[in-house]
Amino acid sequence: MFKDYYKILDIHRHATAQEIKSAYRAMSMKWHPDKNPGTDVTNIMQDINEAYAILKDTNKRERYNQEYDIFYAQLSFNSHKVSDNDFSKEYEYDYDIKDDILKDDIADARKYAKELVDEFLKSFKEASKAAVKGTAEKSLQYAVSWIIAGFVLAILGSIIRSCNS
């Protein structure tokens, strides 16, 4: 499987390190779970992190670019099945990477990206649960406060009425 990391980050092949970093941040924000409620963005976030892990490293990027050039040179001669994942259709192709070191780098980047996204989603879910729990506790505190205030006002009203009688 060959992924076009430049398409994933929406940058050109000759992007600078700063442009890569900025694109990584922009795509991470674009596909953040908060901005995509109801959408499973796990694979997309993994691809974004995988792309960044390869392109931010000068040596890995150089090896990737060599394979990238070979792939696109062959693309016009061969048909490549695109992945069925909607977002991935733009950048994922059936193609065997020839460079074994690059294959290892990509496997490591993929593993790192998966762990990073899994950890993020775990902490995101925990934070969401804590927020809901905190909101429920605050609501209960407010309700109890209003009930107590109501009782105090009722008692004061009774005292005032009995004093006026």
Q: Tens of pLDDT along 89-146?
A: 567 777 788 888 998 988 898 888 888 888 877 877 777 777 767 676 676 676 667 6
Give Rg (Cα) of the chain.
27
d(CA 97, CA 90): 18
- pTM summary value: 0.60
Count of CB atoms situated within 10 Å of the CB of 44? 21
pLDDT at 84 over 60: no
Output the six-digit token pair for 96: 């065997």
Task: Write down all domains in the chain, each with its CATH number in brackets.
Answer: 2-129 (1.10.287.110)
CB distance 5 to 54 below 8 Å: yes
What mean pLDDT, rounded, does the chain reach?
82
Query: 81: pLDDT confidence band, cut at 50, 70 and 90?
Result: very low
d(CA 101, CA 108): 11
Residue with tokens 């192709």: 93
Query: 82: pLDDT confidence band, cut at 50, 70 and 90?
Result: very low
> In the prediction, which pLDDT does 9 show?
97
pLDDT at 37 over 60: yes
Helices (H), the chain: 5-9, 17-30, 42-55, 58-75, 100-164
CB distance 6 to 48 below 8 Å: no
> In the prediction, which pLDDT does 122 show?
80
Output the six-digit token pair for 36: 């995509």
Q: What are the Cα distances from residue 18, in Å, to 11, 15, 21, 34, 52?
A: 11, 8, 5, 25, 12
Tens digit of each residue's pLDDT (9 = 90 or more) over 40-52? 889 999 999 999 9
pLDDT at 63 over 80: yes
- What is the arithmetic mean of pLDDT over 28-38? 90
